[in-house]
C-alpha cells in the first residue's frame, strides 16, 4: 500500500489540527488530580473538542470504541476506556491519548501524567519514556531508514532496564486515522522504509517497567502488562521535512526542538 505524501495545503491543515490536539492535552492537565474519574476527564475533553475547538473526537465510535479519549492507568498499556468507576489516586500514572479530526485531517498525541506525587519508579519510567520518544523523533529526516527510529528507542529503554511493547506501534496519519507506515519502537538500524519529505506519522513508544509481554482484556480494547507492572507512553505526530522533522503536536512543555534535523 503506497504511503501518502502530504501536499503543502495538507500540511497546513495537519499543523492546525495538531495544534488543537496539543492544546487539549495542555487543557486537561489541570484536571488530572486525585479523586477525579477517567469518565469525567473524557467528558471534559469531549466538550472542549466539540464546543471550544469545533473539531471531532476521532476515537468516539471508531471501530466501536465508546469514548472520546483513551485513558490508560498504571499497568494499562493503551486503549483504556474511560469510566466513572475509575477514580484516580495519588501516585497513579495515566496516559491520556487524544485524536482530533478537523478539515479532513487527524492530529494524534498522548502524554503520561503523574497524579499527585509518584514513586521513584514511576517518575523514572515516565522520564525515560519521554526520552525514548525524543530520541526517536531526532532520527527523523529524508533518507533515514524507519528502523533507525525503533532502534534508538529500544536501545535507550533497555539500557535503563525497561522493555518495549512490540504488539502496538506508531502509524501513518492524515486523512486516515491509522495509515501506512507502521512505526515500530524496536528494530535494527538501517532497515525498513526510507523516509521522504511529506510523510506524516506518529511515534508513540510504550515502555514497561517489567517484561514486554501484554494481553488484551475481554472488552477487546484495553491492553495491560501481563505482569501488572507499570507502563508509560508518549506520542507525537511527526512530519518529515526537506531537512529533518517537524513536530505537528508540539506542546509548550516539550523540551525538544519543534523543528530539527536528524542526528
pLDDT at 57: 98
The whole-angstrom separation of Cα 107 and Cα 14 is: 7
DSSP string, 119-179: -HHHHHHHHHHHHHHHHHHTT-STT-BHHHHHHHHHHHHHHTT-EE--S--EEE-SSSSSE
* Counted domains in the chain: 1
Asked if 5 and 196 count as a contact pair (C-beta separation under 8 A), the reply is yes
| Residues listed for the chain | 263
The reply to whether 198 falls in a domain is yes
The whole-angstrom separation of Cα 173 and Cα 170 is: 9
Work out the mean pLDDT of the chain and round it to a whole number: 97
The reply to whether 258 falls in a domain is no
Confidence tier at 235 by pLDDT (50, 70, 90): very high
Q: Helix H segments across the chain?
A: 8-28, 38-47, 120-137, 146-159
The reply to whether 1 falls in a domain is no
Q: Which three cell numbers stand for residue 235?
A: 506520542
pLDDT at 198: 98
Task: Decide: residue 224, CB within 10 A, 0-12 exposed, 13-18 middle, 19+ buried.
Answer: buried
The reply to whether 141 falls in a domain is yes
Domain that holds residue 148: 8-252
Kind of pairing between the strands at 200-203 and 206-208: unpaired
SS3 of residue 47 by DSSP: helix
The whole-angstrom separation of Cα 39 and Cα 151 is: 36
3-state secondary structure 104-118: CEEEEEEEEEECCCC
The reply to whether 262 falls in a domain is no
Cell 503506497 belongs to residue? 2
**What are the Cα distances from residue 80, in Å, to 14, 26, 173, 196?**
26, 20, 21, 33
pLDDT at 126: 98
Beta bridge partners of 231: 208
The reply to whether 140 falls in a domain is yes
Confidence tier at 2 by pLDDT (50, 70, 90): confident
The whole-angstrom separation of Cα 196 and Cα 27 is: 33
Q: What angle is formed at CA 50 by the lines to CA 45 and CA 52, rounded to 5 degrees?
A: 85
Confidence tier at 148 by pLDDT (50, 70, 90): very high
Percentage of the chain lying above the pLDDT 70 cut? 100
- The per-residue pLDDT for range 64-103, each reduced to its tens digit, is 999 999 999 999 999 999 999 999 999 999 999 999 999 9
Residue 166 in this model has a pLDDT that exceeds 80? yes
CATH number of domain containing 62: 3.90.230.10
The reply to whether 260 falls in a domain is no
**What are the Cα distances from residue 65, in Å, to 120, 142, 222?**
34, 35, 10
Residue 173 in this model has a pLDDT that exceeds 90? yes
Residue 131 in this model has a pLDDT that exceeds 90? yes
Most distant CA pair in the chain: distance in Å?
48
The whole-angstrom separation of Cα 160 and Cα 136 is: 16
The reply to whether 248 falls in a domain is yes
| 201 closest CA partner among 158, 240, 230 | 240
Percentage of the chain lying above the pLDDT 90 cut? 99
pLDDT at 106: 98
Residue 140 in this model has a pLDDT that exceeds 80? yes
pLDDT at 122: 98
Amino acid at each position: 500500500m503506497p504511503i501518502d505524501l502530504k501536499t503543502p495545503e495538507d500540511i497546513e491543515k495537519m499543523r492546525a489540527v495538531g495544534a488543537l490536539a496539543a492544546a487539549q492535552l495542555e487543557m486537561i492537565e489541570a484536571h488530572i488530580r486525585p479523586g477525579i474519574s477517567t469518565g469525567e476527564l473524557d467528558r471534559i475533553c469531549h466538550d472542549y473538542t466539540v464546543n471550544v475547538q469545533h473539531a471531532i473526537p476521532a476515537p468516539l465510535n471508531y471501530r466501536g470504541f465508546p469514548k472520546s479519549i483513551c485513558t490508560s492507568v498504571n499497568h494499562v498499556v493503551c486503549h483504556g476506556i474511560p469510566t466513572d468507576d475509575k477514580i484516580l489516586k495519588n501516585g497513579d500514572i495515566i496516559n491520556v491519548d487524544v485524536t482530533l479530526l478537523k478539515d479532513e485531517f487527524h492530529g494524534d498525541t498522548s502524554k503520561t501524567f503523574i497524579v499527585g506525587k509518584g514513586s521513584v519508579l514511576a517518575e523514572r519510567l515516565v522520564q525515560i519514556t519521554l526520552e525514548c520518544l525524543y530520541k526517536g523523533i531526532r532520527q527523523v529526516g529524508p533518507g533515514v531508514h524507519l528502523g533507525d527510529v525503533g532502534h534508538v528507542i529500544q536501545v535507550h529503554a533497555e539500557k535503563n532496564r525497561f522493555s518495549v511493547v512490540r504488539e502496538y506501534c506508531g502509524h501513518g496519519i492524515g486523512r486516515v486515522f491509522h495509515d501506512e507506515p507502521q512505526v515500530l519502537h524496536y528494530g535494527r538500524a538501517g532497515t525498513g522504509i526510507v523516509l521522504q519529505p511529506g510523510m506524516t506519522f506518529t511515534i508513540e513508544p510504550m515502555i514497561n517497567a517489567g517484561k514486554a509481554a501484554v494481553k488484551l482484556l475481554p472488552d477487546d480494547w484495553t491492553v495491560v502488562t501481563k505482569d501488572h507492572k507499570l507502563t508509560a507512553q508518549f506520542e507525537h505526530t511527526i512530519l518529515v521535512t526537506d531537512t529533518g522533522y517537524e513536530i505537528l503536536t508540539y506542546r509548550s512543555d516539550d523540551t525538544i526542538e519543534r523543528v530539527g534535523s536528524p542526528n
